[in-house]
Chains A and B, each alone.
Chain A
Amino acid sequence: MSFKIVKYLLLFLLATILQSTVVALFSIQGIKPDLILLLLFYLSLKEGPLWGTIWGFTFGFAIDSTYAPFQIGIGSFSKVCFGFLAGNWGDKIYLETPHSKGLFLFSLVIAHDILRYGMGKIGNSDLAFWYPLLTKSLPTAVYTAILGGILYYLIKRQAERGYIIGSPRGKEEAERGI
């Protein structure tokens, strides 16, 4: 478990750095995919709602305390909900195809942003709600969902071919010495 914690912490740091550097190169009209939510989505699906909740809180707290100290608590609140829902529903509804996975991710990103801007608006009435939701969140959710769907398809294909260690076919072939 401690290896996993270190792995996810490193992945989180990497996602944060990439989000503010390399991802900008792939932005369309200033809209970028959200790598941090993508990572949280992935690990919540993999580890379940309990770890999704804990990592959601950790990611949100780290980002808020570093970049938005006045909004501390809002990021952790929205990411806790995101992580829990992703982990809890990910294995309960039919989400095996890349586009259903993408649609699920799209809904979660929108829900995350509604909570984020909504809680922000409650704390500070000067903060806009609809404008960033329509101009930033909606296109970001589409971009993130498409990227998430593609990544899911690629990972699934690699796992089916046995290229990913730990995948059922990979294990089977390793046992047979292929």
Chain B
Amino acid sequence: MQAPVRLTSAHLKYVILTITLLFSLILMGLNQREKLQLAKAGSLAFIPAQRLLFYLVRMGEIYEENRRLRLANTRLSLEVERMRGLKEENQRLRRMLEFRERAPLQLVPAEVVGRGPERATHSLIIDGGKDEGIKMNQPVISADGLVGRVIKVMGKRSTVLLLLDPDCKASSLVERSKVYSIMECDGGRCYLKGVPLYADVQGGDEVVTSGWGEIFPPGLKLGTVKKISSARADLLKGVEVEPAVDFTSLKEVFILQGESE
């Protein structure tokens, strides 16, 4: 009677190993919606604790940044005054020409409070969520260009999937020659997919979003063409793109919330 119990306890490590591996495989087999729901529950306890520690670790850096931002703020205030005068002049001229002013896109600023710690994860945690009106799939940008899209929204924080992730594709346009394609990254490098062999694409060409997809509006900078490869037998060009954004040094981003009224 005791034999099976002894066997289980002697092999407990193998039993636990099998259970955890099976459980991991089951998790992998879930669909994206189920994975997102589970992820919300899983990160519920982890994110607040991580956020607190993150601020403690970054305290010194935040102090220095604060000093630098105060200085920049003073400079920018002077610049804003100058721009205000220019805007008034611009508005007056527009009215005179009976142009309808295009409504600017509404930007919600957010601070990066967490970063995927592993080589295989391409995401950020930002300090903004439902309370700030952030919604799923809203584009996230920085001053340099497109950063990614929101994939998980909680009360006061959200997860942003970076452009580097294979699940974050963007319809793109080579600005100079108006060649349309899809920009896709494989976790390390980014490529333009489906560019015909005859298409006019050269190294150094700027690539922006085309606005053809449902998520990203047109004109957001994606990057610059870095390398082109084409074998004679191929029908398509291999176009590698250097992303415009340095994803390793992002500290603040903006969420695009459509056009304001």
List A residues at the B interface (Cβ < 8 Å): 13-22, 24, 30, 34-36, 48-50, 53-54, 56-57, 60-77, 80-81, 84, 87-88, 113, 116-117, 119-120, 123-124, 126-128, 131-132, 135-137, 140
Complex Cα gap A24–B49 (Å): 21
Q: How many residues of B contact A (CB 8 A)?
A: 56
Q: List 26 A-B contacts (CB under 8 A).
A: A17-B50, A17-B57, A18-B57, A20-B115, A49-B13, A49-B17, A53-B20, A63-B121, A64-B121, A65-B39, A65-B40, A65-B42, A67-B114, A67-B118, A67-B123, A72-B28, A72-B35, A72-B38, A73-B29, A76-B23, A76-B27, A80-B21, A117-B120, A124-B166, A124-B167, A126-B184
B125 at the interface (CB under 8 A from A): yes
A36 touches B117 (CB 8 A): yes
A16 touches B117 (CB 8 A): yes
- Give how many A-B residue pairs fall within 8 Å (CB-CB): 178
Question: Which residues of B sit under 8 angstroms from A128, Cβ to Cβ?
Answer: 186-189
Q: A24-B248, A62-B43, A131-B189 are in contact. Are A123 and B20 (CB under 8 A)?
A: no
Q: A54-B20, A72-B35, A124-B167 are in contact. Are A22 and B120 (CB under 8 A)?
A: no
Add 17 more A-B contacts to A60-B24, A77-B28 (CB < 8 A).
A16-B50, A17-B50, A53-B13, A54-B20, A61-B42, A63-B116, A63-B117, A63-B118, A65-B42, A66-B42, A67-B116, A73-B30, A76-B27, A77-B21, A128-B189, A131-B189, A132-B120
B114 touches A20 (CB 8 A): yes
Complex Cα gap A146–B46 (Å): 29
B119 touches A36 (CB 8 A): no
Question: Which residues of B sit under 8 angstroms from A24, Cβ to Cβ?
Answer: 248
A13 touches B53 (CB 8 A): yes
A50 touches B114 (CB 8 A): no
Complex Cα gap A127–B165 (Å): 8
A67 touches B38 (CB 8 A): no
Complex Cα gap A140–B120 (Å): 12
Per a CB cutoff under 8 Å, which of B17, B28, B41, B54 touches A80? B17
Question: Which residues of A sit under 8 angstroms from B13, Cβ to Cβ?
Answer: 48-50, 53, 84, 87-88
A57 touches B186 (CB 8 A): no
B47 at the interface (CB under 8 A from A): yes
Complex Cα gap A56–B24 (Å): 11
Q: A77-B24, A126-B166 are in contact. Are A21 and B119 (CB under 8 A)?
A: no
| Cβ of A73 to closest chain B Cβ, rounded Å | 3
B36 at the interface (CB under 8 A from A): yes
Q: Which 10 residue pairs of A and B lie closest in terms of their CB atoms, listed nearest first?
A: A65-B42, A73-B27, A69-B39, A73-B28, A67-B116, A128-B186, A77-B24, A20-B115, A19-B117, A65-B39
B46 touches A62 (CB 8 A): yes
Complex Cα gap A36–B166 (Å): 24
Per a CB cutoff under 8 Å, which of A16, A69, A73, A132 touches B159? A69
A68 touches B50 (CB 8 A): no
Complex Cα gap A119–B21 (Å): 12
Complex Cα gap A22–B114 (Å): 13
Per a CB cutoff under 8 Å, which of B12, B26, B120, B188 touches A116? B120
Question: Which residues of B sit under 8 angstroms from A69, Cβ to Cβ?
Answer: 35-36, 38-39, 151-152, 159
| Cβ of A6 to closest chain B Cβ, rounded Å | 12
* Residue on A nearest B53 in the bound complex, by CB: A17
| Cβ of B107 to closest chain A Cβ, rounded Å | 24
| Cβ of A144 to closest chain B Cβ, rounded Å | 11
Complex Cα gap A87–B116 (Å): 26
| Cβ of B54 to closest chain A Cβ, rounded Å | 5
Complex Cα gap A38–B47 (Å): 21
Per a CB cutoff under 8 Å, which of B16, B117, B188 touches A132? B188
Q: A67-B118, A131-B186, A131-B188 are in contact. Are A84 and B17 (CB under 8 A)?
A: yes
Question: Which residues of B sit under 8 angstroms from A36, Cβ to Cβ?
Answer: 117-118
| Cβ of B60 to closest chain A Cβ, rounded Å | 10
Question: Which residues of A sit under 8 angstroms from B43, Cβ to Cβ?
Answer: 62, 65-66
Contact code string B116-139 (vs A, CB < 8 Å = 1, else 0)? 111111110100000000000000
